[in-house]
Amino acid sequence: MSSVLYDVPGPAARARNRTIGIVGVAALVALLGFVLWRFYDSGAFAPRMWEWITYINIQYLLLEALWNTIRAFLVAAVLSLLFGAVFAAGRLSDHTLVSVPATAVVEFFRAVPLLILIFILYFGMSQGLGIDISAFWAVVIGLMLYNGSVLAEVFRAGVNAVPRGQREAAYALGLRKTQVMTNVLLPQAVRSMLPTILSQLVVVLKDTALGFIILYPELLYQARFLGSQNQLGAPILQVAIVIAVIYIGLCLILSGISRLVEKRLTKGPAARTTDTGQVGATAGAL
């Protein structure tokens, strides 16, 4: 038996692949064990290095930093999705006066590093134009411009990936372009784009950490502050581990929400398949 892309491995190849897999896993486990042993040997897991997390004021500080991170993420995520949808529609427009400026905006903000955007918004706007932007809005607007431009390309590619026959069948039924986009193309494109959209939203969440550079009090800012306190034993590694666990938890929650949304979108596939088949059959009859 063979596949289109490769030959199915035989007994010898399967044994070789199994051996390579076992050796690779053993090497990773050994490396992880060595790192943990070095941490233990250097006293990184000593109870005195973790006492800081038992202080109620530090717990409140971390909760406030967590809320600042979530708040910046939520606002930036919503604005990025709206920005991406608007400029994706602009890029898909048949009117040159709309598509060309939309393409220029998307390509420009995709090319500029996010950190430079944040610097320009926080420092450059006040010095050059006299417009003061808070650290929160500098982070949020920077995230919106960069990630919104990336999402605009994701939306455009998702719509263009829908088979051409779908839109042709819809046009044959007399639907207008807006109806074709909202009723035929977008429902199919969103399902295929959802994993990529989730990945980009995870990037938005993690990029909120860049706010510490302009002193926005999010998780990384407070981690640097706590890790530099000598009275706490300067627990930079311990604080970093806690902050990393918090970020991992936030990403897992985001992934869980995405799976719920995906299940709702894929509910009743037979009905949607029937509807699509009816559109194609009707167009074929015409």
Weakly modelled stretches of the chain, pLDDT under 70? 1-7, 128, 167, 265-286
Which is nearest to 188 in space by CA: 269, 124, 244? 269
CATH architecture of 56-285: Orthogonal Bundle (1.10)
Residue 16: the pLDDT is: 86
Q: Which residues, 6+ apart, have CB-to-CB distance to 223 below 8 Å?
A: 239, 240, 242, 243
Domain ranges of the chain: 56-285
Q: Which amino acid is at 157?
A: A
Q: Could you say which DSSP state residue 267 is in?
A: S
Residue 283: what are its φ and ψ, rounded to 5°?
-65, -40
Q: Please, what is the end-to-end C-alpha distance for the chain in angstroms? A: 44
pLDDT digit string, tens, across residues 150-166 = 999 988 888 887 777 77
The pTM assigned to this predicted structure is: 0.76
Residue 73: the pLDDT is: 94
Residue 215: the pLDDT is: 86
Residue 5: the pLDDT is: 58
Residue 159: the pLDDT is: 80
Q: From residue 282, how far is each of 169, 170, 174, 182, 274 by CA, in Å? A: 8, 9, 11, 19, 12
- For 79, the token pair is 């604005």
Residue 31: the pLDDT is: 92
Helix (H, G, I), strand (E, B) or coil at 2: strand
Q: From residue 16, how far is each of 20, 25, 88, 165 by CA, in Å? A: 6, 14, 48, 46
